[in-house]
Structure 1
Amino acid sequence: MKRILVLIIALVFASGANAQKFEGLAETPPMGWNSWNKFACDVDENLIKETADAMVASGMKDAGYEYIVIDDCWHGERDSLGFIHPDPERFPSGIKALADYIHSKGLKFGIYSDAGWETCGGRPGSRGREYQDAMTYASWGVDYLKYDWCNTEGLKAEGAYLTMRDALYEAGRPIVFSICEWGDNDPWEWAGPIGHLWRTTGDIYNCFDCEEDHGTWSSWGVLQIIDMRPGIRTAAGPGHWNDPDMMEVGNGMSVSEDRAHFALWAIQAAPLIAGNDIRNMSPETVEILTNKDVIAIDQDTLGVQGYKHIDEEDYEVWVKPLAGGEVAVLFLNRTEDPMDITFDWKANKMTDPDFGHSYDYAADQYSIYNVHTHKKSGTTKKALKATIPGHDVLMYRLTKK
């Protein structure tokens, strides 16, 4: 059978087929879980099965999460024909059996590889084996591929990701393609026809406002990440999303910081990929990750990424146009101390600088709904007077009356 697959791969190369990206996938930002932030290389099939079980039992599946993604270090060796196999000690049942288990839970299965000779964790990469790996993933039942950028000396990012895109398409199974070259090569300028989402920054770190210096590279806190890459929101939309990295909700920040982190990802129409141990969550973490009102803002079908209406040193106001003329508004306190605000809606006409959506509160009255308390909060007729806790947000959904 493997020799037949090798022949098929050769024929694909020879055919010059006009491959493309799978359309109709990731029409809203993908939602799921990835193993890296919490477990790094400490992954095995029992962890992944238990995580799938927890996604269902915790209510995350009902809230919209669907992908279970194994990140780096699942790999074993390639066989004599070059086909990749999972680590036999960590995944003794094989990847197809694991994918079948996840599918049996009504979820989808994701996997990880790298465009270089080796992954970031030193396992076999896909360089020179793209079509072979794509056909293997398809035969296993993979639904999502995160494709990293370590050990890629001499490669051009756009070309390398085009090669894997074409390989996935020729393998015939629709797979969401997550480009992960950390924003180093301006993927928002070229990745739309290639991937369904692309990383815009370096790796996230479980800190709200800090940088972790690794010497030649850094990991970034939540505020550092939202400050990066201004002016790229026009690249995002249904089927092609800016990705500020997986989330750190539940990994050690305060409840306020986790709530702000989740809301900021939602206002940016970011993929919501949890990165915590969802088998062992506090009630507060479950509440944040399954808040359907916040998720609805992220998953809104208009597919417009939010923008900053007010950008001050310690205080920001974010706006996200929504379908049906509604709008989400987020107030961010970047400081550690509580902040009192007075916001006069009538004096703050909001006009989208890129897409033209406009909200004139002096001319039109909107009802206000607090997505964290799940209660109505009056209308825009009166100025908003509120206190934002330190490292926290207020987030509202506004509907024209």
Structure 2
Amino acid sequence: MAAAVVSLALGLLYATGATALDNGVGKLPALGFNTWNLYQCDYTADVLIEQAQAMVDHGLVKAGYNNFMLDDCYSLKERDSKGKIVADPKKFPKGMKQFTTALNKLGFRAGIYSDAGYRTCGGFPGSYGHEATDLETFADWGFQYLKYDNCYIPFDNVTQENVYGRYARMSDAIAARAKKTKSTPFQLALCEWGWQQPWVWGGRLGQSWRIGGDIRPWWSALSSIINQASFIATETRFFARNDLDMLEVGNTNIGTPPGNLTFDEAKSHFTAWALLKSPLLIGSDMESASKETIQILENNDILKINQDPNVGEAVAPFRWGYNPDYTWDPAHPAEYWTGNSSYGVVFMVLNTQDTPQRMSFNLTESWAIRAGRVYSVYDMWSHTNNGTAYRSISLNLPPHGVAALLLNDAGPEPAGREPYCAGYWQCSFPNGTYYSN
């Protein structure tokens, strides 16, 4: 026992600092569908396959949404005599393997849900103390992706591990099984809700980590999540990323007030999630999805930034805008964001106010822009080339609206034009005289 405690203590000492878990899976954010927000516990295999078929029919699988995540409530309340989780025969009368096979035929990789505690958040068997057994069950059923929650936590004097140690149990079990069976490891998504800063340690155990509580389909909830992401956007990289929770761009049936985002809010929601390199798991009904919803979800210009094979980092704020920089305000998160990509320099401008706004920025506020250059401007929502930008860009945005721009170097600035500097920061003539514009 003493050796085990020492080993765990050493593991926790090395848990500081975010290092991506490059185990061959989860290099890029997962795209797909998650059952929870739409169905919670009220579903059957047939209902879920109908939803999967709607994803195919709308072209979403072809667009890259090829993960189908089965969330909570799929099992009986108790394990069998051998300690194994048992699929609910009323929900899955033909068995779980038949369900995942049907998903595979539609082009999906199947994902499932469990919990690091005694029970799942819905009160079904959790995986604490059963990590290896449950992994074998999930693999036998045909799953390859595991969302791992944080309910019904054992007493501290039982685990003596804290949250990192409880998640490490499953991460270690995944690695051990992959080595033993010479198979691809499960992809692990941590659902820790952000209480103990998983953006610091989560990348050592899984490929994504939730940064807060469950999403709700109205603007105040979305802006609150973006606010939190404003401070930790730089923690995203290949194989490790902040998970902003599910996409709610379509119709939904949970919660009050009514969960109908405006079209501009839905665009902002999708843009922020995608450019912040969050997993994009749809949580709304695709069978009744509008053309506008599909238009948003299939925006290839935005998706290709999320799925960039060469740049793993997300956009990050360069200016808060409505508030002074680094202000914590769930109603008004950072408004001006930038990052690099394989396709050009990315800018996201977000109007967090309830009224239309004229919004402006200097190009050189972005670290990725070269000073003294002209840039071509591509609008990732209108899908149009909008000429060139010289020094600054101004935009008119609707309430809670967004702009997503892609800039590429188009050559040096025209000679002889003043001001010589885009900003005043210690810009100097050769003789040492400061130039102030």
TM-score of the pair, normalised by structure 1: 0.86
1:322 counterpart residue number: 341
Whether 1:164 and 2:183 are equivalent positions in the alignment is no
Alignment of 1:212-361 (within 5 A): 221-228=221-228, 230-250=230-250, 251=252, 252-301=260-309, 302-313=311-322, 316-323=335-342, 326-345=344-363, 348-351=364-367, 358-360=368-370
1:43 counterpart residue number: 43
Larger Rg: 1 or 2?
2
1:96 counterpart residue number: 97
Please tell me whether the aligned partners of residues 198 and 242 of structure 1 are also in contact (alpha carbons under 8 angstroms). Answer: yes
Please tell me whether the aligned partners of residues 148 and 179 of structure 1 are also in contact (alpha carbons under 8 angstroms). Answer: yes
Secondary structure at the residue paired with 1:192? helix
2:214 counterpart residue number: 203
Whether 1:183 and 2:201 are equivalent positions in the alignment is no
1:393 counterpart residue number: 402
Letter in 2 for 1:28: L
Letter in 1 for 2:171: R
C-alpha displacement of 1:171? 3.0
Letter in 1 for 2:84: F
**Unaligned 5+ residue runs, structure 2?**
1-19, 253-259, 323-331, 411-437
Secondary structure at the residue paired with 2:407? strand
Deviation per CA, 1:232-287: give whole Å up to 9, x if none.
Answer: 33432111111111121113211111100000112211111111111210000000
Deviation per CA, 1:39-90: give whole Å up to 9, x if none.
Answer: 1111210122112211211111111111000111111131110111111111
* Identical-residue share of aligned pairs (%): 36
Secondary structure at the residue paired with 2:245? coil
- Counterpart among 350, 361, 383 of residue 374 in structure 1: 383
- Shifted more, 383-392 versus 189-198: the winner is 383-392
Alignment of 1:97-136 (within 5 A): 97-136=98-137
**Unaligned 5+ residue runs, structure 1?**
1-19, 210-220, 352-357
Secondary structure at the residue paired with 1:191? helix
1:146 counterpart residue number: 147
Please tell me whether the aligned partners of residues 22 and 239 of structure 2 are also in contact (alpha carbons under 8 angstroms). Answer: no
**CA–CA distance in 1 between the matches of 2:360 and 2:153?**
51
C-alpha displacement of 1:230? 4.5
**CA–CA distance in 1 between the matches of 2:204 and 2:317?**
27
**CA–CA distance in 2 between the matches of 1:380 and 1:64?**
32
1:81 counterpart residue number: 82
**CA–CA distance in 2 between the matches of 1:364 and 1:329?**
16
1:13 counterpart residue number: none
Please tell me whether the aligned partners of residues 21 and 169 of structure 1 are also in contact (alpha carbons under 8 angstroms). Answer: no
Alignment of 1:17-36 (within 5 A): 23-36=23-36
**CA–CA distance in 2 between the matches of 1:257 and 1:317?**
16
- Shifted more, 97-106 versus 164-173: the winner is 164-173
**CA–CA distance in 1 between the matches of 2:304 and 2:377?**
15
Letter in 2 for 1:65: Y
Please tell me whether the aligned partners of residues 60 and 298 of structure 2 are also in contact (alpha carbons under 8 angstroms). Answer: yes
TM-score of the pair, normalised by structure 2: 0.79
Length, aligned pairs only: 361
Please tell me whether the aligned partners of residues 117 and 124 of structure 1 are also in contact (alpha carbons under 8 angstroms). Answer: yes
Letter in 1 for 2:404: M
1:355 counterpart residue number: none
Please tell me whether the aligned partners of residues 21 and 240 of structure 2 are also in contact (alpha carbons under 8 angstroms). Answer: no
